[in-house]
Amino acid sequence: MAALVAFSRDAIISCTRDGMIQTWNDGAQRLLGWTPGDVLGRSVLFCVAERDKQRVSEILARAAEGEHAQQEAHVLDREGRSLETSLGVAAVHDRKGEVVALSIIVRDLRRRRRSEANDAMLASVVQQSRDSIFSVTRDGLISTWNPASEQLYGYTQEEAIGRPLGMIVPESRREESRSMFATVMRGEMVLFETLRQRRDGSLVDVSISGAPLRDSQGTIVGISSIHRDITSQRQHEKQMRLVMRELAHRSKNLLAIIISMAAQTARTATTVSDFTSRFTQRLQGIAHSHDLLIQQNWRGAPIRELVRSHLEPFLEGDRNRIHLTGPDVIVDPKAAQNLGLALHELATNASKYGALSVPSGSVSISWTKTDGQFRIAWQEQNGPSVRPPNQRGFGQAVLERLACQALEGTAHLEFEPDGVHWDMEIPGDYLVDIGGERDEWGLRRS
């Protein structure tokens, strides 16, 4: 008994019936700082905080009458610091049964308080987490199940606890789950992505981390697992792969257009500066179409905006020189690029030789959507007398052949005396519906 008292981590004190200290073990010295020589013969109440002295006195009095009592109380160490403790007081009897002394055990509650606070904090984190967090026993039975687990898998806490982990594992992933469980039970942590099954039978992409659960002796008693829904991540990755493939495809198409445009421009250019000027203008025309497509996240371009973007650089701010007629329709990216090329060539020609080269001239652009076809027409008025060109250039090739071939349509270009007339008809499949309100100019509101 003496050895147990001497080596105990708790403070063990004995005192007379009236509370005078008789023994003071090493545990008491470690906890409170006083040596036996400092305290022997003093009242045990000397180290009790003032606010708890009355209660402790009552406990000592009851113990002196033969009762056992336990109470939490604040005691003061040698430095004057207040410590939370648990006080157990028991009577010591002689052979006749008379109370001859009191035995007091003082246990430091700070570690337990910290543990309780940590447990409360962890419990709060688990309850509020957006990830599914649960634990499983050594036998593979679910023992805890947080609210996020209910949301992810559809089982309530009452339905899940006590059931085997296999209830959320699809048949095709059973062996994987068993292997993961065995790995964690050997003391290792795991992290992987896989599929799991909801209550309704649907599958969900999840990221899983698993770790061993240990008791106070370090023995593995189960596993804790965190499941995170990565469905949106998977969808994003899939979308990015599609975007990258589409970007590569569009880049190749654009480069092919630019290479053809450079070659055709070079054939008709008379000087390097002439080539540079014309080629730069055509690249700017492509850029106008791309700006519109970017505004619509590359889903399409409103035809009214497409026409205006290519003509406005040649109008010097006078929008009254162009007349637009037609419904609010949106053409897909491929149609936007090719129609943009055609509109740029028409506008460039009109500004140099046609209706936009004189103050009185104007241009009417109309479009219709009927019987699964889309038709756009360009007509110049009040410009100088028009004559067919002496040689065919890149612009004429775009208007008569290249744009309509790319869009599986037909085109007609006429150099009529009263002004250039051009029209093209393409399948309605090149029209898309991406919604959006429009202002009085027909421009999409952001």
Can you read off the two tokens belonging to residue 188?
Answer: 């290792």
State the pLDDT at residue 442: 38
State the pLDDT at residue 346: 92
CA atoms within 13 A on the CB side of 307: 22
Domains of the chain listed by start with CATH number: 2-108 (3.30.450.20), 114-229 (3.30.450.20), 235-432 (3.30.565.10)
Overall average pLDDT of the 407-425 stretch: 93
Question: 71 versus 424: which is more confidently predicted?
Answer: 424
Amino acid (one-letter) located at 107: R
The tens digit of pLDDT for each residue in 8-63 reads 778 999 999 999 999 999 999 999 999 999 999 999 999 999 999 999 999 899 98
Residue percentage of the chain with pLDDT more than 90: 50
| Spatial distance between the Cα atoms of 270 and 272, rounded to a whole number of angstroms | 7
Beta carbons of 325 and 304 less than 8 angstroms apart:
no
**pLDDT grade for 78, boundaries at 50, 70 and 90:** very high
Output the CA angle 47-51-54, nearest 5 degrees: 80
| Spatial distance between the Cα atoms of 316 and 286, rounded to a whole number of angstroms | 20
| Spatial distance between the Cα atoms of 331 and 323, rounded to a whole number of angstroms | 20
| Spatial distance between the Cα atoms of 34 and 27, rounded to a whole number of angstroms | 10
The tens digit of pLDDT for each residue in 203-241 reads 999 999 999 999 878 899 999 999 999 999 888 888 888
User: 3-state class of 150 per DSSP?
Assistant: helix
